[in-house]
Amino acid sequence: MSRFLLVVPPLAGHVNPAQGIADALLAAGHEVAWCGSEAVLRPLLGAGAVVFPTGSRLLRPQSDHGLAAVKSVWERFIVPFATFTLPAVERAAREFRPDVLVVDQHCPAGALVAHRLGLTWATVVASTMDLGHPLSAMPQVTAWIEERLRGLWAKAGLPAHAYTDPRFSPHLVLSCAAGPLAGPGPFPDHFALVGPTVGTRPDQPDFPWEWLDGRAGVLVSMGTLADDITARFLREAVAALAPLGERVRAVVVAPPEALPPLPAHVLARRRVPMLDLLPRMSAVLTHGGLNTVSEALAVGVPLVVAPIRHDQPINAARVVGAGAGVRVNFARSTAPVLRAALTGVLDDPAPRAGAAAVRDTLAAAGGAPAAARHLAALAGAAAPEPPPEPTEQAAACRSRSA
């Protein structure tokens, strides 16, 4: 059996897909450890997970849209997080001695450590922001991102001539998007589009299941990072649902105090047992994060997508292209617009048929068990080449982190 160290950011939307892969690896008899913020990981993973902590650092909030949001996520999160966690990730790798480093695409520190130590590594793609290079039509943007990545490479003390994009392992790339959600190919042979990697989620909240009845279920979930900008949208969503009491039961994932008074057929919950709730729904109104989109489509539930930023517009376009839902404008959506979109998805059989087709495609992709098989095969392959000769800066970094 082999040893795998998973390097993840402090974001539930990235930890949850990795946890599904970890569950499948553990079920196959492998050893698994984690490297990340223990304050975030422990509640998501449970007491039994082996966690090498990176510590926590307050990062500036991201409230931009469009291309400004792309710049924001790199400048305010990905780059400073990589710089901050690099020493801790290297310590974890030296102590745990994994056969394979399994690195979230937004954790360049994991890739840099793999190159420093000559370790085999795999990428987990939990966002479609870089999958298939959707920004390739904007060469200035892609050049700007590469400049940041090369800067991280240099700060890690790695030689410029050996540069490899830390977002994409040359050994294995596991994509949590598959089928129409992955976008146009072709993809390199070492890309495995396994689809949603759903696993167990400890400490799930209670839910009043008896509250659901024979009426159509509608779930409203706008993500975990957008609380600061979704207040108006959620008010409009509640107003959209208000006249639909005879036909729907709606669950809004939001703090109840952040919402206006609710009609009896609308329930507000801070957290919900998402994987158990989705199969009971007839439609989902969402921001378009990959987890919510893929988990809903994995059980054949059509979507109304109101993308805000990052990969969400990409996901929304792919949902519409697959015929599995409709897109609305987040900033300009009013109650009548949202009501028309929701009733359209509920009444028109085409989105449900499109969602069912995507469901079948995702099931065939293999999910977490397929990802675990790819990783096990990678661990059993020939040892990687020796690491590149470190620069003086790398040696200094290592001495400081010892």
Domains and CATH numbers, the chain: 3-195+366-401 (3.40.50.2000), 209-362 (3.40.50.2000)
Reduced to 3 states, what is the DSSP secondary structure of residue 171? coil
Average of per-residue pLDDT across 286-305: 96
Counting residues of the chain whose pLDDT is more than 90, the rounded percentage is 74
Residue given tokens 């059993």 in the structure block: 380
Residue given tokens 């994060």 in the structure block: 289
The answer to whether residues 175 and 182 touch, using CB atoms and an 8 Å cutoff, is yes
In this prediction, residue 76 carries a pLDDT of: 85
Q: How far apart are CA 275 and CA 199, in angstroms?
A: 9
Residue given tokens 């849209």 in the structure block: 65
pLDDT class of 67 with cuts at 50, 70, 90: low
Q: How far apart are CA 216 and CA 244, in angstroms?
A: 10
Query: And the tokens for 9?
Result: 């950011």
pLDDT class of 68 with cuts at 50, 70, 90: confident
Q: How far apart are CA 168 and CA 188, in angstroms?
A: 11
Average of per-residue pLDDT across 239-263: 94
The answer to whether residues 89 and 116 touch, using CB atoms and an 8 Å cutoff, is no
Q: What is the pLDDT of residues 85-128, one digit of tens each?
A: 999 999 999 999 999 999 999 999 999 999 999 999 999 999 99
In this prediction, residue 141 carries a pLDDT of: 82
- Residue 192's region, left for phi above 0, alpha for psi from -120 to 50, else beta, is beta
Q: Which residue has the higher pLDDT, 35 or 139?
A: 35
Say how many Å lie between the first and final Cα of the chain, rounded.
29
Residues 6+ apart with CB under 8 A from 301: 278, 279, 281, 282, 283, 284, 355
* Angstrom distances, CA of residue 289 to CA of 13, 129, 181: 8, 11, 11
Q: How far apart are CA 232 and CA 107, in angstroms?
A: 32
Lowest mean pLDDT among 38-42, 55-59, 200-204: 55-59
Q: Is residue 367 scored above 80 in pLDDT?
A: yes
In this prediction, residue 392 carries a pLDDT of: 47
Lowest mean pLDDT among 117-131, 183-197, 371-385, 388-402: 388-402
Average of per-residue pLDDT across 38-43: 92
The pTM is what? 0.89
Q: What is the pLDDT of residues 210-227, one digit of tens each?
A: 999 989 999 999 976 555
Q: Is residue 397 scored above 50 in pLDDT?
A: no
* Angstrom distances, CA of residue 358 to CA of 45, 136, 196, 349, 351: 29, 26, 12, 15, 11
Residues paired with 253 in a beta bridge: 221, 269
* Angstrom distances, CA of residue 12 to CA of 206, 258, 277, 310, 389: 19, 21, 18, 16, 36
Lowest mean pLDDT among 33-37, 76-80, 92-96: 76-80
Counting residues of the chain whose pLDDT is more than 70, the rounded percentage is 89
Which H or E run includes 248?
A: strand 248-253
* Angstrom distances, CA of residue 9 to CA of 2, 29, 57, 367: 23, 25, 11, 21
Sign, CA dihedral 367-121-111-138, equals negative
Q: Is residue 228 scored above 70 in pLDDT?
A: no
Amino acid at the residue 202: P
pLDDT class of 389 with cuts at 50, 70, 90: low
Residues 6+ apart with CB under 8 A from 360: none
Q: Is residue 49 scored above 60 in pLDDT?
A: yes
In this prediction, residue 394 carries a pLDDT of: 43
Side-chain-side CA neighbours of 267 within 13 Å: the count stands at 17
Q: Which residue has the higher pLDDT, 227 or 317?
A: 317
The answer to whether residues 104 and 176 touch, using CB atoms and an 8 Å cutoff, is no
Amino acid at the residue 40: V
Q: Is residue 72 scored above 80 in pLDDT?
A: no
pLDDT class of 400 with cuts at 50, 70, 90: very low
Best CA proximity match to 286, nearest among 369, 222, 227: 222
